[in-house]
């Protein structure tokens, strides 16, 4: 049975690239009837950020990429579920020590007492000589007595992997095929740091083996380290899992996606009002392609369509305009009550509406929702769009718009429009539409000469949402007030 994992570090907000990695693991596990687990890799304590675990679990829960096993959050409580725990690496230190001792006893790892200053000197001299900087093996051949003497003297140490010389290490990657590296081009990787914590390279191999991981799906930045991981599996006499390294997500400049070019975290996008299902749909297509041209997928459809063999080798550019298009599609498909629920926090924060409106004007809010449905790509845009409608200073400054208001036909249009709105009891979208049709029939004003001046008189703009929807949202009193303010320009 397939068992795979998402194993991030608790170092801040969840990057969209990390969510894509989690998503691909999740889709593959679900497609094959396997298990998807979440493990926390927190062995680098210097990078730990308070709140990162909550942020991680919230992001996964909101996007529907929910682990079957490992670290989970239920009803606001963080817990660990499964038979292979602990699932937090800092709680597994005794386990790592046990296997580390095996490596040292078998001569596959060794103590290194080199100071930071010496290591820097070695690297500097290697760079000057045009060599690839790596550890020079100074402590590889210390005798057991020398090692014990230094330990007894309290000299700080690390433990390094003892790679054989001039051996080709190879493995098959599910995306790139056979990968080979010579050990002469690799470093004797640190396995245990001076603080007593293992490095990623030791912990990931031990954890993946003990947790029965069959497939490792992770970012391509780990590709150069994988031969050393494969060698560790050999040292322990374990079967290595299958490896699938995902292409990077790129900025427009084809460099790895970074904050320098805008939002990159899941939280950034959700805070702006991108729908989780749209973000998931978009990320699924960054690095993987279905067999046909389908672009809009539910999670269940993604599970059915997902195929590891269709993951691309080359990086995928994060196209924000494509994400916006996709999110707009999802917004258009929302039931009105869900659309309004998503809108409300943005409108309240901007002061466009208040809490009393939320409680007492549900029908009116649904009208606003319909007004915006086809005009926003994400919900944070709603306040800007509505600012064109809910104006404090209602003035017309555009010269072309003013020319429409000065037309002789506009004077007649203005008079009859005011009369008909004053005479109506309730001005909603259907009544607004009827009024415009009546004017067209009675006054023989039609087309651009009817709708453009009417829009300008009511909104101050030449373009915008459906005019009758605007009339519905603003209501009779506000529209009459605006028309009255237009009279000096038209008269």
Are 197 and 44 in contact by the 8 Å Cβ rule? The answer is yes
DSSP-derived 3-state class of residue 217: strand
Q: Is 259 assigned a catalytic role?
A: yes
Q: How far apart are CA 157 and CA 235, in angstroms?
A: 22
Residue 210, phi then psi, degrees to nearest 5 = -65, -25
User: Backbone dihedral region of 132: left (phi > 0), alpha (psi from -120 to 50 degrees) or beta?
Assistant: beta
Residue closest to 192 by CA, chosen among 106, 79, 112, 283:
112
Query: Dihedral sign, CA of 147, 151, 153, 158?
Result: positive
Q: Which of 101, 127, 259, 349 is catalytic?
A: 259
The number of helix segments (H) and strand segments (E) in the chain equals 20, 13
**Pairing relation of β-strands 69-74 and 77-81?**
antiparallel
Under the phi-then-psi rule, with left for phi > 0, alpha for psi from -120 to 50, and beta for the rest, what region is 34? Answer: beta
Hey, what long-range contacts does 81-87 have (CB within 8 A, 24 or more apart)? Answer: 82/37, 84/37, 84/210, 84/211, 84/212, 87/37, 87/38, 87/39, 87/40
- Which conformational region is residue 215 in: left (phi greater than 0), alpha (psi within -120 to 50 degrees), or beta? beta
Q: Count of CB atoms within 10 A of residue 147's CB? A: 18
Rg of the chain on CA atoms, in Å = 32
Between strands 158-161 and 109-112, the pairing is antiparallel
Q: Cα–Cα distance between 479 and 420 in angstroms, integer?
A: 12
Angle, to 10 degrees, between the axis of helix 336-350 and the axis of helix 362-373?
100
Helix (H) or strand (E) holding 418: helix 408-423
160 strand-pairing partners? 110, 190
Which residues are known to be catalytic? 259
């Amino acid at each position: 049975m397939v068992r795979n994992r998402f194993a991030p570090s608790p170092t801040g907000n969840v990057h969209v690239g990390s969510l894509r990695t989690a998503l691909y693991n999740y889709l593959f596990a679900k497609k094959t009837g396997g298990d998807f687990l979440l493990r926390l890799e927190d062995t680098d304590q210097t990078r730990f950020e308070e709140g990162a675990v909550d942020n991680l679990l919230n992001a996964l829960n909101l996007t529907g990429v929910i682990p079957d096993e490992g670290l989970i959050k239920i009803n606001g409580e963080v817990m660990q579920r499964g038979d292979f725990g602990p699932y937090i690496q800092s709680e597994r230190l005794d386990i790592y020590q046990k296997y580390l001792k095996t490596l040292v006893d078998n001569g596959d790892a060794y103590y290194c007492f080199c100071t930071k200053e010496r290591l820097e000197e070695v690297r500097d001299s290697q760079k000057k000589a045009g060599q690839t900087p790596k550890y020079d093996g100074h402590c590889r051949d210390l005798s057991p007595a020398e090692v014990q003497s230094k330990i007894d003297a309290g000299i700080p140490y690390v433990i390094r992997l003892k790679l054989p010389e001039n051996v080709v290490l190879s493995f098959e990657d599910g995306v790139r095929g056979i990968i080979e590296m010579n050990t002469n081009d690799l470093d004797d990787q640190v396995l245990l740091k001076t603080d007593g914590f293992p490095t990623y390279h030791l912990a990931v191999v031990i954890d993946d083996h003990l947790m029965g991981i069959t497939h490792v799906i992770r970012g391509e930045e780990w590709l150069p380290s994988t031969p050393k991981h494969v060698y560790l599996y050999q040292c322990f006499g374990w079967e290595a899992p299958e490896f699938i390294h995902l292409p990077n997500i790129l900025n427009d400049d084809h460099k790895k996606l970074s904050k320098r070019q805008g939002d990159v975290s899941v939280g950034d996008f959700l805070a702006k009002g991108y729908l989780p299902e749209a973000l998931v749909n978009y990320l699924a297509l960054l690095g993987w392609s279905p067999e046909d041209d389908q672009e809009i997928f539910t999670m269940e459809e993604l599970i059915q369509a997902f195929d590891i063999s269709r993951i691309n080798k080359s990086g995928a550019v994060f196209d924000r305009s494509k994400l916006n298009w996709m999110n707009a599609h999802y917004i258009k498909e929302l039931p009105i009550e869900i659309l309004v629920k998503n809108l409300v926090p943005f409108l309240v924060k901007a002061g466009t509406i208040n809490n009393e409106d939320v409680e007492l004007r549900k029908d009116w809010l649904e009208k606003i929702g319909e007004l915006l449905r086809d005009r926003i790509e994400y919900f944070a845009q709603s306040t800007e769009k509505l600012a064109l409608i809910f104006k404090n200073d209602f003035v017309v400054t555009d010269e072309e718009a003013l020319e429409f208001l000065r037309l002789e036909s506009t004077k007649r249009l203005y008079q009859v429009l005011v009369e008909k709105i004053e005479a109506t009891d309730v001005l909603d979208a259907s009544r607004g539409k009827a009024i415009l049709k009546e004017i067209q029939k009675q006054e023989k004003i039609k087309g651009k000469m009817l709708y453009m001046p009417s829009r300008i008189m009511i909104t101050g703009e030449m373009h915008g949402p459906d005019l009758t929807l605007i009339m519905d949202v603003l209501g009779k009193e506000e529209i009459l007030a605006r028309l009255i303010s237009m009279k000096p320009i038209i008269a």
